[in-house]
Amino acid sequence: MSLYEEILSQEAKVSVIGLGYVGMPLAVAFAKKVNVIGFDLNKRKIDMYKSGIDPTNEVGNEIIKQSTVEFTTEESRLKESKFLIVAVPTPINTDKTPDLSPVEGASAIVGKNLTRGSIVVFESTVYPGVTEDVCIPILEKESGLKCGVDFKVGYSPERINPGDKVHTLENIIKIVSGIDNESAEEISKVYGLIIKAGIHKASSIKVAEAAKVVENSQRDINIAFMNELAMVFDRMGINTNEVIEAMNTKWNALKFYPGLVGGHCIGVDPYYFLYEAERLGYHSQIILSGRKINDGMGEFIASSIIKKLILANKKVKQAKVYIMGLTFKENCPDIRNTKVIDIISSLEEYGIKPIVIDPQADKEEAKHEYGIEVASFEDVSNADCLVFAVAHKEFKSLSLNEIGNMFADVNNNEKVIIDVKSVLDRVEVETKGYNYWTL
């Protein structure tokens, strides 16, 4: 009997190691078909899942309550499963080099609890070679087993888009790979239980690893191009969105927009690719330039805020500035690698202490990760400047009258609105005489 058949007949379990924005939806999806163990080191997170609370908002509280996933922090429970999926984050260090400690730690935990006949699949984003050169040796060392003989390994890059309710896990084509054809086929069958969009079998693990970092690097470069255009158009006095609207009338326009590029994928993955390329003696021109542009957008937006405050006759150091949104993208509580922090840090260099409003972000996490006290809508008053940094639905639903009431009682031309994501109707705002700027 194959492992796929054992899983299907519930003689073997699936384990998901790392229950964040990627692992948790994966575990829940598999639990609809087979027996699943969901493992994470974070006891607070596990307790929330057990209580029926979804802190990621990816599947929702009701689905979590109904799910049969066996949530646990006990690593020994992993011995009960034969198909183990590693979905831990792979961040970068302060010097922009890959931080492989989470995936190395997960490999050690899996290795200590690995049994013969198992398949380990890594979903964490890495540069080509990490699965075979870093993870497999750890698995072998901790388990005392031999890869290819006693257990198999594969790689299947996560492609989940946090907060996206259309392009969900089941609706995204799944790339799979294995150390040999047999493992690739078995992995393909297991993922086929939950993936409706179809499976793409890559020819090797390295090809699958490269596909993930390249697809995000491509997006990063395209957004960097639009960001560079936005900075130039700002000097030219041209509205970037009007240019894009005109350009997008052509059938082959790529429809990218300027903005802050953060999060756990697009703002990180290119550095993994760059690291390995440079290690092999190739120094990137395009990818690195794109990263520099996108990493500098927070500072550019902050300088635009300062200019607008000065033009509105505000005393910069005393200006009451509200940052509307902290998460790395709209309608998502994820604050990992958010570039809104760059705006805040730059403003602080000018002596401004901005107040952050975000109805989606976890206040406790924001305090722990960035030392930021997230305020509530009710706290917004007597503002000199509102910075719409994230296009949350709560911000988009605000009327211009409601926004106007958040400011101090002054003329509209002294009320500064910075609309990074074009949340507001520019014509309406400018017609009312507000001091308005958009990226």
> Which residues are catalytically annotated?
265
The C-alpha atoms of residue 4 and residue 159 are separated, in whole angstroms, by: 23
Q: State both tokens at 328.
A: 């790395």
Helix, strand, coil share of the chain (percent; to 5): 45, 15, 40
The C-alpha atoms of residue 115 and residue 118 are separated, in whole angstroms, by: 6
158: nearest Cα among 231, 56, 264, 38: 264
Helix, coil or strand: residue 7:
helix
Instruction: Check the CA dihedral 301-303-306-311 and report its sign.
Output: negative
The C-alpha atoms of residue 170 and residue 26 are separated, in whole angstroms, by: 9
Across the beta sheet with 119-122, the strand order is 70-72, 36-39, 13-17, 81-86, 119-122, 152-155, 174-178, 199-201
The answer to whether 336 touches 328, Cβ cutoff 8 Å, is yes
Q: State both tokens at 191.
A: 């993922």
| CA dist list (Å): 150 to 75, 171, 333, 385 | 20, 33, 41, 62
Residue written as tokens 């993994």?
272
Q: Which residues pair with 380 in a beta bridge?
A: none
Q: State both tokens at 373.
A: 């006290």
Burial 204-243 (b: 16+ CB within 10 A, else e): ebbebbbbbbebbbebbbebbbbbbbbbebbeeeeebbee
The C-alpha atoms of residue 119 and residue 83 are separated, in whole angstroms, by: 5
Cα angle value 356/325/157 (rounded, 5°): 130
CB-based contacts of 368, cutoff 8 Å, min separation 6: none
CB-based contacts of 342, cutoff 8 Å, min separation 6: 260, 295, 297, 298, 299, 302
